[in-house]
C-alpha cells in the first residue's frame, strides 16, 4: 500500500519538479507492424526492452550505428520503455516485444538512461536537479555508458534481425537474454517472409545470469545510482 501511495505522489507531484525541459537524446526508432510495412532499403529489428527497476520516467536504451558519433543524434537510435499510465506497480518487467525499421548497419549498445540530457559516456551517470518540498537537490538516475566491447546487432536491407531481450537490472546494468519462443511467436509470424539477419553478438559479461524481481518505487527511494 505504501508503495502505491509513493507511486501516486510521484505522478501527481514529482514529475513537474524536474528542472529544465526533458531531453531525449538520440533518435527514436520507427515502429513497423509487419514485413510489408518496412520501407525499401531498410531492415526490420525485433527487440524487447524491460526493466527490473521501477521507472520514474522513460528509459532510453541507446545504440550507436557503426561509423557514427555519439554526439550526433542521427547516429544514435533510442529504444524506449515506460511504466503504464495507470500502473501503481512495476509493469516493465513484463515482455513487450516490438518491431522497428532501421537503416542497414551494425548497432552497438552504448548507454542507457532515465531523464538524461545526453547519452551517458562510458561509466557516466546522469545527475538531475529535483525540486521537492525541501528545495532543490541533485539526484542520480538509472544510467550508464558502456565500453566498445558491448552487445551489437546487424541490420540488413530487406531482412529481419532478432536482437533479443535487453533488461535494465537492479545492478543498474543492461543485460541480455533470448526472447522466449512463446513471447516471440506472434511477431515472427508477421515477418515470416523476410530473410533472417545474423544473430546478435553478445559478450559473456552482458548475458543475464540471475533471476529478476520487479522492484517498486519504494525499493529504490532515494537510491544513488
pLDDT tens for the chain, 225 residues long, are 444 444 444 444 343 333 344 568 999 999 999 999 999 999 999 999 999 999 989 999 999 999 999 999 999 999 999 998 766 789 999 999 999 999 999 999 999 999 999 999 999 999 888 777 777 888 889 999 999 999 999 999 999 999 999 999 999 999 999 999 999 999 999 999 999 999 999 999 999 999 999 999 889 888 889
Q: What is the pLDDT of residue 137?
A: 81
Residue 69 is assigned to a structural domain of this protein: yes
Could you give the CA distance from residue 58 to residue 117 in angstroms, rounded to a whole number? 12
Q: What is the pLDDT of residue 14?
A: 40
pTM over 0.85? The answer is: yes
Q: Are 3 and 218 in contact (CB under 8 A)?
A: yes
* E strands, 115-179, in order: 126-132, 135-141, 143-145, 152-155, 159-168, 174-177
3-state secondary structure of 141: strand
Residue 155 is assigned to a structural domain of this protein: yes
Residue 108 is assigned to a structural domain of this protein: yes
Residue 33 is assigned to a structural domain of this protein: yes
Residue 76 is assigned to a structural domain of this protein: yes
3-state secondary structure of 126: strand
Count of the separate structural domains present in the chain = 1
Q: What is the pLDDT of residue 168?
A: 98
Could you give the CA distance from residue 36 to residue 147 in angstroms, rounded to a whole number? 36
Residue 8 is assigned to a structural domain of this protein: yes
Q: What is the pLDDT of residue 221?
A: 85
Q: Which domain does 69 fall in, by range?
A: 2-220
- State whether the Cα torsion 46-52-58-63 is positive or negative: negative
Residue 225 is assigned to a structural domain of this protein: no
The helix or strand, by DSSP H or E, that contains position 30, with its residue range, turns out to be strand 30-31
Q: What is the pLDDT of residue 87?
A: 63
Residue 138 is assigned to a structural domain of this protein: yes
Could you give the CA distance from residue 20 to residue 108 in angstroms, rounded to a whole number? 29
Q: What is the pLDDT of residue 189?
A: 97
Amino acid at each position: 500500500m505504501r508503495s502505491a501511495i509513493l507511486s501516486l505522489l510521484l505522478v501527481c507531484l514529482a514529475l513537474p519538479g524536474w528542472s529544465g525541459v526533458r531531453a531525449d537524446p538520440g533518435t527514436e526508432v520507427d515502429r513497423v507492424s509487419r514485413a510489408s510495412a518496412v520501407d525499401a532499403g531498410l531492415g526490420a529489428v525485433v527487440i524487447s526492452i524491460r526493466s527490473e527497476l521501477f521507472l520514474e520516467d522513460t528509459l532510453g536504451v541507446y545504440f550507436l550505428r557503426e561509423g557514427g558519433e555519439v554526439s550526433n543524434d542521427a547516429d544514435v537510435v533510442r529504444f524506449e520503455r515506460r511504466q503504464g499510465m495507470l500502473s501503481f506497480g512495476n509493469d516493465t518487467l513484463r515482455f513487450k516485444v516490438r518491431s522497428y525499421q532501421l537503416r542497414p548497419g551494425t548497432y552497438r549498445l552504448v548507454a542507457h538512461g532515465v531523464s538524461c540530457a545526453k547519452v551517458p559516456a562510458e561509466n557516466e551517470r546522469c545527475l538531475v536537479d529535483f525540486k521537492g518540498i525541501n528545495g532543490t537537490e541533485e539526484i542520480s538516475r538509472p544510467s550508464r555508458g558502456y565500453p566498445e566491447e558491448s552487445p551489437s546487432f546487424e541490420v540488413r536491407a530487406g531482412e529481419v534481425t532478432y536482437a533479443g531481450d535487453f533488461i535494465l537490472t537492479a545492478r543498474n546494468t543492461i543485460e541480455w537474454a533470448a526472447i522466449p519462443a512463446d513471447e516471440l511467436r506472434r511477431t515472427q509470424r508477421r515477418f515470416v517472409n523476410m530473410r533472417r539477419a545474423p544473430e546478435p553478438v553478445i559478450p559473456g559479461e552482458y548475458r543475464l545470469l540471475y533471476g529478476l524481481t520487479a522492484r517498486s518505487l519504494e525499493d529504490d527511494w532515494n537510491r544513488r545510482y
